[in-house]
Amino acid sequence: MHPLSRAMLALPPVLLIPALFAVVAFGRQSATPGAGQEAKAPTDNSAVSGANRDKATALYQEDFSVLPLEKNHLKLQIAVLGEKDDKPGTPFIRERWHLMWRPADPIDVYVVKPRGVEKPPVILYLYSFPQDTDRFKEDYWCGQTAGAGFAAVGFVSALTGHRLENRSLKDDFFNQLPESLGATAHDVQMILNYLASRGDLDMNRVGMFGQGSGGAIAILASAVDPRIKALDILTPWGNWPVFLAKSTFVPSEDRLALDKPDFLSKVAGLDPMQWFPNVKARSVRIQDVRKDGHMPDEAQESMEAAAPQTAEIDQFGDAAALVPAAANGKLLEWLRSRLAPDAKPQVAMEASQRVHFYPPKAPANPLTGAH
């Protein structure tokens, strides 16, 4: 095990920075309701069968290359409360909702509300492929993210985790990259629609944290949805020609098929680097970790150059340099501050004022483990 990975094991789960270390992934856990939990729906796909599935299929129209939701035809077909965890003494109430607006693609969305807070602001969390929903079941994660009066909403991208159950074994996140990106950008907008329909959240103060592939999708969603007021992205993927050619995370068997002009042309319109200047969020922060391997330095630099001139950019020389900035809940402080009632939109500044560099702290040895 890499020495830094061993040291990171001592950190709380929310600070493990899943894009960088294989040790981040939690073991898959049982969803059996415990004390204070209410089971209202099965966790298999029987909830989306029969007439409901037929209706959803008949109405379904979607173009993954077109990001705005209003130009597609997605409708919420199913919203079922699968679990409610309301344990006395915990600072949060956790709900798992079973949502569907696309045939054979039910999505588990975790809504974690701070206890005793009326209409809290909301932060969406989208971590990097291939992570599933395990962290959202962790009480520690829920306590951290729903602290300070904020609601946390967690979900996973298309062709990831439980969302691969109804797919061909040949399909994966990379070889179906246009769908992985476009469908999840639509999902973000549909989830915001669902959250607005609840009436118990402050939808005027919505932020999004995205990491790795989740950061790429967060950029795409923010470029077409002004409801995301603050955007915090950690080593977001992008610049697909460079990423697909050089990222250590792309499987070699996929790279042979993806690093070709015909495939690159299919994802060119979904490159976060192209959409980044158009994000609607009034506050944006990029945290990039050099020597990551998964997101090549060259691609990071081009993404940073494409960012709005209002964006704050933190460049960490390596993963070890990021640890002090993320420890003890610091990772969440910036996004919360940008959603405060008196927060002002960021203004354009010279690079010398908004770009911060943190020197590397570990010996040069790029990490090559899974995100």
Condensed to tens digits (0 to 9), the pLDDT of residues 300-332 reads 999 999 999 999 999 999 999 999 988 878 899
Q: Which pLDDT tens digit goes with each residue over 57-104?
A: 666 889 999 999 998 989 999 999 999 999 999 999 999 999 999 999
The larger pLDDT score, comparing residue 72 to residue 151, is at 151
Q: Residue 56: pLDDT band by 50, 70, 90 thresholds? A: low
User: pTM for this one?
Assistant: 0.84
Residue 239 lies in a domain: yes
Residue 24 lies in a domain: no
Provide mean pLDDT across the span 263-279. 97
Tell me how far apart the alpha carbons of residues 129 and 214 are, in angstroms, rounded to a whole number: 7
The pLDDT score that the predictor gives to residue 364 is 58
The pLDDT score that the predictor gives to residue 327 is 84
The pLDDT score that the predictor gives to residue 58 is 67
Q: Which domain CATH number covers 153?
A: 3.40.50.1820
Backbone angles phi, psi at 69, to 5 degrees: -65, -35
Confidence check: pLDDT of 37 > 90: no
The letter for the amino acid at 159 is L
298-310 burial string, b = 16+ CB within 10 Å, else e?
ebbebbbebbeeb
Q: Residue 254: pLDDT band by 50, 70, 90 thresholds? A: confident
The pLDDT score that the predictor gives to residue 75 is 93
Residue 222 lies in a domain: yes
Residue 80 lies in a domain: no
Q: Strand 283-289 and strand 121-126: pairing?
A: unpaired
Residue 254 lies in a domain: yes
Residue 157 lies in a domain: yes
Which range marks the domain in which residue 182 is found?
116-131+143-358
Confidence check: pLDDT of 258 > 60: yes
The pLDDT score that the predictor gives to residue 348 is 83
Provide mean pLDDT across the span 355-363. 90
Q: Residue 259: pLDDT band by 50, 70, 90 thresholds? A: confident
CA distances from 237 to 212, 234, 249, 293 (A): 5, 9, 11, 11
The pLDDT score that the predictor gives to residue 292 is 87
Provide mean pLDDT across the span 186-212. 98
Tell me how far apart the alpha carbons of residues 52 and 54 are, in angstroms, rounded to a whole number: 5
Confidence check: pLDDT of 230 > 70: yes
Residue 249 lies in a domain: yes
* Best mean pLDDT range from 39-43, 118-122, 363-367: 118-122
Residue 163 lies in a domain: yes
Provide mean pLDDT across the span 287-310. 95
The pLDDT score that the predictor gives to residue 54 is 62
In percent, the amount of the chain with pLDDT more than 90 equals 71
Q: What is the average pLDDT value for the chain, to the nearest integer?
A: 85
How many domains does the chain fold into? 1
Which is nearest to 338 in space by CA: 207, 145, 153? 207
The pLDDT score that the predictor gives to residue 242 is 96
